[in-house]
Amino acid sequence: MENEKEFLRSHNIKPSIQRIMVLRFLRMNPLHPTAEEVYQGLINEIPTLSRTTIYNTLNFFAEKGLVKVLNLGHNETRYDLNTDEHVHFKCIKCGRIYDLYLSCNLPQKGDVVDGHIITEREVLLKGICRICKGKKGGDDEVQV
């Protein structure tokens, strides 16, 4: 995997320490963290970090096409480093979000359906994930 600096530069982003740290965190936590999770994950390493910096960095990444913003309802905004076409599966027990590669016949970006132009496609499946499915009770002990 190319290093963080190169990766940021290839997206026309000037690599600052915060940006490198946020990118590294996203790479190490591929289960679509929220901004708050990114903040909690980095605050020990960068004590001067603010939530605003995290939000701004993530939104800047999104603007540059480096991450996808997922709006999964209930004001739950998550960030996805995987910009390949894929659908999401959300576990209703533990809340983990998984990437699934399915070929579905839904319209693509740019298609016109009934006169409406599709500009985004976000498919969310819900259910019980393989980890929770294998557990016998004790839902509360799920580690995220």
Applying CB under 5 A, the residues found at the interface with Zn ion are 80, 82, 91, 93-94, 99, 129, 132
If the CB atoms of residues 30 and 107 are measured against Zn ion, the closer one turns out to be 30
If the CB atoms of residues 20 and 94 are measured against Zn ion, the closer one turns out to be 94
Distances (CA, A) of 134 to 25, 88, 104, 127, 137: 28, 20, 27, 13, 9
If the CB atoms of residues 72 and 94 are measured against Zn ion, the closer one turns out to be 94
Letter for the amino acid at 68?
K
Written as six digits, the tokens of 139 are: 């839902």
Q: Smallest gap, in angstroms, from Cβ of residue 19 to Zn ion?
A: 21
Q: Smallest gap, in angstroms, from Cβ of residue 41 to Zn ion?
A: 18
User: How many Å apart are CA 131 and CA 144, to the nearest integer?
Assistant: 11
Q: Smallest gap, in angstroms, from Cβ of residue 133 to Zn ion?
A: 8
Residue position matching structure tokens 């290093």: 3
If the CB atoms of residues 31 and 43 are measured against Zn ion, the closer one turns out to be 31
If the CB atoms of residues 49 and 80 are measured against Zn ion, the closer one turns out to be 80
**DSSP code string of 18-47:** HHHHHHHHHHH--S--BHHHHHHHHTTT-T
Q: Smallest gap, in angstroms, from Cβ of residue 99 to Zn ion?
A: 4
Q: Smallest gap, in angstroms, from Cβ of residue 88 to Zn ion?
A: 5
CA-based torsion, 98, 99, 103, 105: positive or negative: positive
